[in-house]
Amino acid sequence: MKKIKLLLVDDEENFVSALAERLQLRDFRPKVALNGEEGLDALEKETPDVIVLDLRMPGIDGMEVLRRVKKSHPQVQVIILTGHGTEQDREEASRIGAYEYHRKPVDIDDLVFSIKNAYRKKLEDVMVAATFAEAGDFSSADDHMLNEGLKDKVGK
């Protein structure tokens, strides 16, 4: 899973360090940000494929990070991982474009499964749009890219 660019954003340093170590044991190489600002900075330095994002953080909270990620890098898949979220938070995150929503504590195998599926979805979305474009069906490619937030990934 070294090929998946993974960013973990959580202000609980002990938790996110332990999570990063557990993911490294499963052949991931996650980068870690300890708050929303660091997460957004990391996003600009090297765009991840998947972000695992906490909701409740000081400063820029996870919901605002999700909004900004989906606006500036809509192809990035975001998995919410929170210990304090509500059903209303789950619905809002889904509406904004979160790929999945997990509550802490999460089973590491469930999280790994979600990360792999989120990455697979990102690749499939890009491939579908590229297939339309290669076939000369630019309007379908544009429609798919707009619907999937991939406009910056596949050009005419």
The residue-averaged pLDDT of 89-110 equals 97
Does residue 94 fall inside a structural domain? yes
Adjacency order of strands within the sheet including 77-82? 31-33, 6-9, 50-53, 77-82, 100-103
Does residue 128 fall inside a structural domain? no
Q: Which is more confidently placed, 129 or 64? A: 64
Give the CA count within 13 Å in the CB-facing half-sphere of 50: 27
Does residue 89 fall inside a structural domain? yes
Does residue 146 fall inside a structural domain? no
Q: Which two tokens stand for residue 69?
A: 């990620």
Q: What is the CATH number of the domain that holds 69?
A: 3.40.50.2300
pLDDT > 50? residue 150? no
pLDDT > 80? residue 139? no
Q: Which is more confidently placed, 151 or 21? A: 21
pLDDT for res 5: 97
Average model confidence (pLDDT) across the chain: 89
Could you list the residue range(s) of the whole structural domain that residue 41 is in? 6-119
The residue-averaged pLDDT of 84-105 equals 96
Does residue 20 fall inside a structural domain? yes
Does residue 138 fall inside a structural domain? no
Does residue 141 fall inside a structural domain? no
Q: How many domains, in total, are found in the chain?
A: 1
Q: Which two tokens stand for residue 86?
A: 């509500």
pLDDT for res 68: 98
pLDDT > 60? residue 149? no
Does residue 97 fall inside a structural domain? yes
pLDDT digit string, tens, across residues 28-64: 999 999 999 999 999 999 999 999 999 999 999 999 9
Contacts of residue 117, Cβ cutoff 8 Å, sequence gap at least 6: 99, 100
The residue-averaged pLDDT of 100-127 equals 94
pLDDT > 80? residue 155? no
This prediction's pTM: 0.85
pLDDT for res 151: 43
